[in-house]
Amino acid sequence: MWPLPLFYIFGQGVNLFFLIFFISTFAAISLAVWLGQERGVPPVIVLDGCLIAIISGLAGTRLLSYLMNSVFPHMHQGYWSIAAIVPLVFFLWVFATLHPTTRRSPLEALDVYFPALALYGALARLGCFSAGCCHGKPAWGLPWAVVFNHPASSSIYRGVPVHPTQLYEAGGCLVILFLLMALRNKPALRGTLIWVYLSAYGLLRFCVEFYRGDVRPMIGLLSLNQVICVAFITIGTVMLARRFAFSDRGFATWELQS
């Protein structure tokens, strides 16, 4: 946990959070390009998609952050990272649908991005852990509880043992990554990794939210993030069911290729 700058570039401090952010982005792009080559998608097209994902994700995060900070001015002023997924998925789908190389099977082309997104999530949450943001609730007596006590930490519970929710999510994203990598070459599952990711990440984040300790807007008993997660789980599950549960051919293909 090191929230202070490690070095400076043109007078701008770069701490471990931003360093891990750039490493995570590079690792995710590298994995997407490798998966693209495996699928026969030219690297330039994958890189274009990655650029679209980064721009749309940052724009979505900043937009929701601005809206939330305007509606709830007394809340901690932060960025709503989960908001990046919605425009990211939408604009990647538009890109794959319109591009002449991938428009015949856009969902199969999108398969290369979601293991990469899971890898990014696993690594980026380590950056959150280093800064003390996205932390958990107080957890007195919990053997694996962590304490953020640096004055520059983003934690609102400095000096108090809390759930390491950043590590919970990082570990969960790693499991999702392994799952997607294992499923990517199943012919019956081509073009479904987007739905597997939305369902799995939605479930992961929904559960982790119960242990989060930072201040977030609530809708009844659920946080806003959990409501978004319910939408992810619903969309992912419905689309997977549409592909398999109502298709005898889908099940037959799965059995033959498993």
Average pLDDT per 10 consecutive residues for the chain, totaling 258 residues: 69 81 96 94 95 89 72 57 85 94 91 97 93 92 92 86 97 98 91 96 96 85 91 95 69 41
Count Cβ atoms within 10 A of the Cβ of residue 246 and give its class: 0-12 exposed, 13-18 middle, 19 or more buried. exposed
> What predicted TM-score, i.e. pTM, was given to this entire model?
0.88
For residue 60, the model assigns a pLDDT of 78
Phi, psi (rounded to 5 degrees) for 209 = -60, -30
CA dihedral for 64, 66, 67, 72, sign (positive or negative)? positive
Instruction: Tell me the pairing of strands 218-219 and 222-223.
Output: antiparallel
How far is 201 from 233, CA to CA, in rounded Å?
8
For residue 250, the model assigns a pLDDT of 46
Count Cβ atoms within 10 A of the Cβ of residue 69 and give its class: 0-12 exposed, 13-18 middle, 19 or more buried. middle
Phi, psi (rounded to 5 degrees) for 205 = -70, -35
Q: Give the helix/strand (H/E) hosting 15.
A: strand 12-15
